[in-house]
Every structure is written in structure tokens, then in C-alpha cells.
Structure 1
Amino acid sequence: MAVVSPMSPAMATTPHQVYPTTPLRGSEVPWIMSGMREAAEASSPNVVDDIIHVAVAKDVKDSRLNLIWAIQNSGGKRICILYVHVPAATIPIMGANFPESAAGEHRVQEHRENEEQGMRNILNDYLLICQKMGVKANKLHITDKDCIEKGIVELICKHNIKKLVMGAASDKYYSRRMTDLRSRKAIYVRENAPAYCHIQFICKGYLIHTRNLSLDGGNVEVRSPLSPQTPSRSPSLGQQLYRRVRSVNERNGGRMSLASPIRFLMQPNRFGREGTSNGSDVLSRPASPLVSSTSSVNFISELSENASALNSSSPKAIQASSSRLQDSEMDETLYDQLQQAMAEAENARQDAYQESIRRGNAERNAIEAIRRAKAAEMKYEEEVKLRKELEEAIKREKEEIDCMKSQREKLNEELQHALHKNSLLESKMASTQLMLEELDQKNKSAMDTLEKYKQEREDLQTQRDNALKEAEDLRREKQEEASTSHVFQLFSEFSFAEIKEATNNFSPSQKIGEGGYGSIYKGILRQTEVAVKMLSPDSKQGPKEYQQEVEVLSKLRHPNLITLIGTCPESWTLVYEYLSNGSLEDRLSCEDNTPPLSWQTRIRIAAEVCSTLVCLHSNRSHSIVHGDLKPANILLDANLVSKLSDFGISRLLSCREDSTTQFWITDPKGTFAYMDPEFFASGELTPKSDVYSFGIILLKLLTGRPAVGISKVVESALDAGKLNSLLDPLAGDWPLALAEKLARLALRCCEMERKNRPDLHLEVWRILEPMKAPLSGENRLGLGSQELCQPPPYFICPIFKEVMRDPHMAADGHTYEAEAIRGWLDSGRDTSPVTNSKLVMHNLVPNHALRHAIQDWLES
């Protein structure tokens, strides 16, 4: 509790200005008493503040207890929520914070509106707490860009706030020994708030510190307990009164009566009126000269009686008394009496000050006792409630125990019955255990036998694989010997004049394609349709590539390799059999409105290409890598049988001295979309480079999409279970299981590292061959197979309907058995047995490549 004097600052600092400085006349005495009365009344604590302002934080949890404490201790006064909003220094944009200058005016305005809406929501939450506690409250807020504490001080000054409640520190710093402020904001407000503002600092619902208003312009801190402040040494009001009375007495010739000052002193509670401030610590005005107490009242009563006696006396007595006042003895006596009265008043003020301190402590103790009593009462009620709950729980426990007893009796009976059954089961288990041991012994012996059989089977399988390998080596040696013996009979040599005549002097209308080697023309050479591959002057390839292709096609025979009919060394020209259906690239894109390839035909073509690559890679003398495998280099004949062409950049591989890996170091060439990434990076061309290109071709056959990035697209579709959406609809209805198996095989072939790609013969061919056989209605080409297989349709003579022994190519571009086509022509016919078109000539060209392929098939 504090004694508060609401005297204005001017009155507190210059109390002597109440009195006039000019000599007093007899009519001025009532004016003096009236002014002194007004000064005394002004010094009384008459502070009435109907609003308690509560400063709250942004988090409702941090200030909820402070607001509840203010409401409970408001004494029915109104509550006003005080809030200071500090705008954010940065603006959040897409997970990052940007300065206000760099965020843009629109985003800044939008963020500020969101902040204001958040501020309104916070204030509404605090108002809801007041509403739940039955208190009407309003709100007051301000925006301060510097800090919260400066905003609080600005609100106090702007709205003349007389009473404020705010937090002393965060709740985590609270303890019973906490006696001072621990919040930077609270300390700043305490030191900088105006002196007329009474501030109470709360922490966790407890009053920690109070700063009362001060009349001398300074801030007065109050702590409990606090020793009395030393009174001011300025001249007391009694001394000033004595000087005024003496001055008036001298001007009036010593005729002033003591009644006026005595009546002035008799005014009750003129000086030192006590004031409290809601149980806060005691404050006193340092310059106040008198405090009402028992001793001061008794002394003033004596003066009042003397004054009454003087007033009731006769005029003569008054005149005598007045004359005696003129004497110096009476002046000294009056001064001594006033001094004595002032001393006693000062003592009384000190006693009252001490009494007010004691009373404040008593009030605080009483409040604390009430709080403890309420807490004890609540604790007692909780204990009573807990006791009732415990009694009910005990009652329920007793009922459960009784129930459990009855259940236990039943369980005992069941247990006895179970024990009897258990004894029977134990005897059965003993016999069963003996049987299990016997079975374990038999199982162990069976496992040993099985391991022995597995080992024998592995040995037999190893022996079979070795035998198959030896047989394959012998077959290849025989093929190489046969091809070597006929190497110089494989193709013919043509003159440049014949080439010009066949292509109509390289007419543009005869041009059917163009590649890295040069242009390709369709022509009639010796009454046979042929494809002429002519080296261009500006071609990237040259004589080296020409010799390379001649050497490769002269050493290998395979039904799916293009047939080299002849060459023209004079102009580095190659003459091939003419394939009417163009390239696989053209057929996949339906060039010239050609019908699309069915999915069955696509699988058969993939198997044929795989068989051809296996033949190239497994060549005994030197493995051959095509190096430029792509759909444009896979040609299709009239029956859509694939023929691999363009061996200009193929390579015969050797091995490193310290490694079994076959490779060729060369500059990367070929089409980028089908090129092996490791070959492109290192320049090492290996058989696994063709495996990568073959994987891209498989994906293109499946989807019909461009080759660039196709592996990533298919892999994502497989992972998402959406492969069906990528399959080429022009191929018909793909069997989804077969398509998925083919896609996964293709992705394995397209692995970035060549060591992770599968082997064409051991893995890829074994998957593609079963897919191909049931689709074409024919048995598969027996690559590495020991069983007799049905011949491919292009091994069958169109006339004799049997496998050809001496195949010859007629002018219609089809191959026949030599005996059959000669008999056809000798009988006078001049039309084609297949197309029924007229043959322009009767000359026949031996098809050595097909003959060697048929021989290989017959020997396999």
C-alpha cells in the first residue's frame, strides 16, 4: 500500500507560491486561510482512475495470467487491452526472407495486411478472455517500428494512462525469490514512463514489483519492505506560516489574533492526509510538513480551546492580549509554540508513515493469507473429491475382487481338467518326439543325397556346356573354312560404265537414299534390280570404309545380312540386292503411306537383328562390331525379312594384352541417339556398344517414339505402371505382359555402364527366341540349338517349295533354285513366277550369300 499525493507537479515543486509575498492587511487573513485550505485539499490523495490498462504480448499464453490477475484485482474498474505491434523487418517470399525494399510494394502491402489481421485476431482472443470472466473490455493498440517498450511509453503519454499492468519477465524466469524485474521491456518502461503512471509488474499471476506515481517529477520505486524516506529539509509550512503571521502582525500594529492560524490548524486533515493505492507499498510526499495523528489532533485541540477562550473574552481582554503580542516575549512564545507544534506534527507524520508501512505489510499479509486460504480451500475440495473417487474406486475394486474370486474358482476347476489333459498330451509328445528324431535322421540323409545329386547335375551341366561350346567352335571353324574357300566367288566386279548405265547416269529420280558413305540409287544391272551405293566426293567415309564393308560382307554369311552382289573398285561403288520395303525407320514412320508393322512382325525383326549381332560378335577369327546400329540401317525385303546393312564403320576387334575385353580405339562415329555413352566418352568400341544400340531399337519398336530420351520415358512409365499408354497403337494390341518383359530387357541393354548390360547370346537371345517362334507360325532359327528346326521361308524355292541347294537371283529380284528357274525359262515363259510380271532378261545371278546361309542352317 502506498500513500499517494495527487498534487500537480508545479504544486509539488514550489509549494510556497500558494502564499502572497506582499504585506497582509486585516481583510487578507481569510484569503490566506482559504488558499491554505485549497492547498491542503489539493495535497489530499484523490486519484480516481476508472480504467486499468493491461499491456499484452503477441502470444496469448504469455500474457493470459497477467490479464486474469488484473481482472481479479481491478475492483470493478474497466479493463483496456494495450498492444504494441512491431512490423516485421523482412517479407517472407517462397520460403526465403527479403528486405522490405526488395520485396515489392504489392507483397509488402499484402504482408502488412496479414499482420494487421493477425493483430486483430490476437486482441479478439484477449477480449474473449475478458468476456468469459464477465468483464467488458476495450482495446488500444499502436504500431511502432522500433520496439515494443517504446510503443508502451508512447501510448502512456498519448492517452494519459494513470494505471498500467504489464509483465515483469517471462514465466520461465519466475521463482518465489524473484524480487526485481528481469525483462528488458519492463525495465525500460519503469525508467522512462511518465511519473503520473502507476505501474504494476506481474509474473505468472504474482505481483513482483510496483512503480507508484511521484509528484516531484521523478519515478519512485517501491519494493517490499522499504525503509521510510528521509523528509525534505525545505522550510516547513509552520515556519512559513509563522513568518506570514509575524509580518501581518507587524503591519497591523500587533493586533492580529491567534484565532485565524489556530482555526487554520484546526481544519481536519489539511496536511498529511493518507492515501493508498490498491495495497501497494507506502509513498509519502517529501515536502509535506504535517501528517494527521493522535498527537497532532490533541495539540490542535489545545490551540482551538485557547482560541475559543480568546474569542469569547471581552473586547478589553482581546485588546490586552493583542497588546501583549506586540512584545517580543509573546513573539518568541508564539514562535516556540509553533515550533513545538511543528515538531510534534513532524513526529506524528513519521509515526503515521511507519503506521502506513505496517498497515501496507499487514494488508499484503492479509491478501497472501486469503490467497493461501483459497488455495487451501481448493486443495481441500480437491482432496474431498479425490477421496470420494477413491472410495468409489475401492468399492469397484471390491466388486471386481469378488468377481475375480468366483472366476478363479472356475479357473481352478478348468486348470485341473487342463492338467489332466496336459499329462495325456505330454505322453503323446514324448512318442511324437521319438518319431521326429527318426524323421530328422531320414531328412538329413535325404538332404545329403540331394546335395550329392545337385553336385552331379552341376558337373554334368558343366560337361554339357563344354561339349556345346566345342561343337559350336567346330561349326564356326567349318563355316569359316567354307566361306574362305568361296571368298573370291561371292561377288562380281562391275565397270563404272555399267554402274552409270544401271542408274541412268545417277539420275535423281533413281535416288532412294543417302547416308554417311554417299548416295544410294536403284538400278537395273544385268537385268537385275539392284541398290547401288555410290561414294560421294564430300563423304565422311572413303576407301577405308569401302574396304571395311567389302571385307566384312565377304567373311560372313547370315540370312539377315544384306547380300553384296558386286563392287566397282574404279569408283568405290557397292552393289547390293534391292529390298523393296526400304528401311525399318521408314516403315515405323509409315513413309509413303505404307501400312504399319504389327507387333508380331516387330518382335520377329528384333529377334532377327539379335541373331545377326550374335553372329557378328561370335566370329571366331575376329569379333565384328557394327558400330552404327539403327533402324535406318535395317532393311526389309518383300516379305518384311530384315537385312542388316551399312558396315562402313564396323570394326574387327582385338584384345588387350592384360585383359580379355575386346575393344577398338577410334573416334566416336554414328548416330548420337543410338551411340553407346561409354564409346562416346572413351572412344573404346566394344560388342556391348551394339547391345546399347539394340536396346534403343527395342524401345522404338515398342513405342514408335523418337530415340532421344526414350529410355527415361519408358523407365518412368514402368515405375508408374503406365507402360500401356506408351505402346505404339499402330502395332495393334500388344500383350501387356510380353511388352513389359520386352521393355525391361531393353532397359537392361540401355544401361549407362557397359558392364551392367546383358550378353546377347546367353540372355537376350534366350528371351527373344521363344517370343518369335509362336508368332510367325514357324519354328525358330536354331542358333546354338541341337534340334532340327523348320527352315525360314526365304530358304524355300517359290517353284519347288523346298529348301534351295543352288540359289540364283532372277531379273524380278527373287531367288529361286537354279534348276527350277532354268526349267521355267526353258519352257518358253518370260514372266516372273512370283509377280507374274514380264522378265526383261533371262540372265541369272548366283546368290552365294543365301547359299552359305542355307548350308550353315543345314549343318546346324
Structure 2
Amino acid sequence: MTLKIPIRDMVKMVGSLRYQQGIDIVESMKTSKRETLVDEKIYVAVSVKDLENKSTLVWAIQNSGGKDFCIVHVHQPIQISVPGEMFHDQKVRLYRKDKEKAHKNLEKYLHICRQMQVTAEIIYIEMDTVEEGILQLISQCRVTKLVMGAAADRHYSMRMRNLQSKKAIYIHREAPVTCQIWFTCNGYLICSREAGRTENLYLESASPISLRQSEITRVNESAPSYSMVKNDDGIKVIVTEAENSKRKARFEASKRDEAEKSAVDALKKAKQWETVYFEELKRRKEIDKALREVKGDIEKMRSEYEIQIAESDMVIRKLKDKYTLSMEALRKLREEQEELKIELREVSKLKSKNEEEEASPSNHREPPQYFICPITQDIMEDPHVAADGFTYEGEAIRSWFERGHETSPMINKRLPHTTLVPNLALRSAIQEWLQVPESLNRSCDSH
């Protein structure tokens, strides 16, 4: 009598696997002697695609210090869809071919272990997802030490510090706390998760695990024939497809329910948004009306400001004109003030001179009239002849010209030029007259 095991509970523990004429031959089978204790083997999760996890296995052997390893591979059966009469047989052949390829690649991992002189066995699991297979293995085999990849080796970089593989992230989060896990990439340790101190975590599941291990032993000891294995493989394919179909149906039903729920929610939201839209439209109309009123007020204020600015500009121009006229009048007033000051000084000189003459009439002597400057009315010290032919004191006539006068002081006519010529003869005569004593001058005058 052959005991049939469901696919999800089938875990084959094989030391060295060979595939010959479609029959799995078990070379060695190791079972736990103490079912309630935790197995201290080091489990290494690998992929059979081009020895992707070779660096993970090598790191585990070199750095763990252990000598007993379990190479774990969770195989995801391929989805086969073949129409026609040969539907069943062709599915079985494709399934067996995929399985044979996986076993051959696992043999390469065993060869690496032999080369590195450690003992190893293979655990081959068929399951839809790798994460569920590894978690089930940890739970059933009470794994306490696990090494797996943090990411594919091609994604490794020197700055890599976090897990990148979704499988590694899921295992890191969901694995039991009693399992210590190392995550490597390209032969380097990326991170690790230490095991927690919990006792008897697996005691409740001890009996089911023992039963499954005994069931596995019976299956392998029964040594089924080729036809039986073929039928079992066909049943496995059919059951797998049935489970996949059931899962897809549940997934589609849940998606349909979610879609209907989303449609109802979307309809409610659409109504809410429609209400919000009309309210917003009404509010915008009110805002537009208020903006138009404000805009009209602003235009009115702008026109008033423009009128005020024009009036202010006119007032400013008038003030500027008045300022210019005032400055011109002030300039003329200052010129007249300067002229008055000069005349006042001359009057003061004449007054003082007259007072001196009146105070000492005996000492006074009258100079000749041509010795007197027409401007200062004093005896000239530096006589100069102007363009009108008259002789003036040099300083006085120059001051006359500097004040802007261009006319003759004597005849009040415009002079052709302002060039002055020294009257040397007159100056000599004045100097001689001043040096001669008054008595001689009087005698000369009497003669």
C-alpha cells in the first residue's frame, strides 16, 4: 500500500539525488533522532538557475564554522497550457523535464560541498512561492540557522547595506524569531538577523512534523515503480493546476468585488464632487461679480488720481517759474547791493577827505584837475587811458569793467574795447607834483 502525500506537505530530504529513467533514487536519508529538539544544521537557500547562489553557499561553508549543511531549494512548478488529445501526457513530460533540470543543478551544489570537504544534503520543495516554502521549511524542520541571498550577485555594490530582494525582506520580517539568518551577496555579508531567546516554540507542532517525516520515509522506502511515479507526477500536475485555477478564481472574484466596491465608491465620490463643483461654480460667479465691482472702483480712483496728478504737475511748473524769476531778481538785487557797497565806500572816502581838508585848511593844496580820477575823485596813482580817451585810476576802471559795464564812465557810451593803456607821462607828472613842497607849488601856481 502506497501512502500519498499532498504537494504542499511534500519535502524530500536527499543526500545525493540522481535522476534515472524518471525515478528519484535516494542514496541517503537523514532523519532527526530527537524530534522535539531544534536541528543545528546550517541551511542554505539556493536557486538552481545558473548556480546564482554559489557565492552564498561558499560563504556559509567558509564563515559559519559548521560541517553539516542542508541545501534548500524551493521549486516553483512551471505553468503549462497545452491543448489537444495529448494534453495529460505532454504536461507530465514537461513537468518531469523541469524537475530533472532542477535536480541536475542541485547536484552541482553538492559537488561544491564535496570539494570543500563538508557533508551536505538537499531539501527539495515544490511550492507556488519561494517565501512560503522557506517559511514552511523553517517551521517544520525547526531551522535555527539559515543563510540566503540578500540580492542577486549582479546587484552587489560596496555601499550595499540593506536587503534588496523582496524574498529576503519578506523572510527577514516573517521568519520565526528562533531562526538566525545571514543575508549575503556576491560572497559578502550584507546583514544578519539574530535569533531570539524563546523556548519550546516548536513543541506544539512536534507530532505533525514527526508524522510527516515518517510519511516521507515510507514513500522513499516503498521504491515505487516507473508507472506509479508517472501516475503520481500526473496527479501532482493536475492537483497543482486545480489549486492554481482555484486560486485564480478566488483572485478574480476578489478583484471583481473590489472593482464593484470601487465603482460604488467612485459613484459616491462623483456625486460629492458634482456638488462641490456646483458650489464652487456659484462661489466663482460671486467672486467674479465682486471683482468686477472692485475693478470699477479702481478705475474710478485711477482717473481721479490722474486728474490730481495733472493738477499737481501744473502747480509744480508754476512754482518752478516763480522760483526762476525769484532767483533772477535775487541775483540782480545782489549786484545792485555790491554796486551800492562800492559807492558807499567811495562816498565814505570823499567824506573823510573833506573832513580832513576842513580840519586843516592851511595845509591844503589843490591838485590840477587832470590829476583827479573821474571815478574815485582822488589823485591817480596808476593812471590808465581807456578807449574813450579819458584817463582813470587803473584799479577803478578795471572794477568798472568787472562789474559788467561796457560803457564809458564819462560819456556813458559803449566802448569799442576794454583795453587799458598806462599813461606814463601823467603818472610821472603826478609823482613830481607830489614830491615838490607846497610852497613851490603855490609859487608855481602864482606865476
The bucket for the TM-score relative to the shorter chain is: 0.3 to 0.5
TM-score (norm 2): 0.35
Bigger radius of gyration among the two? 2
TM-score (norm 1): 0.18
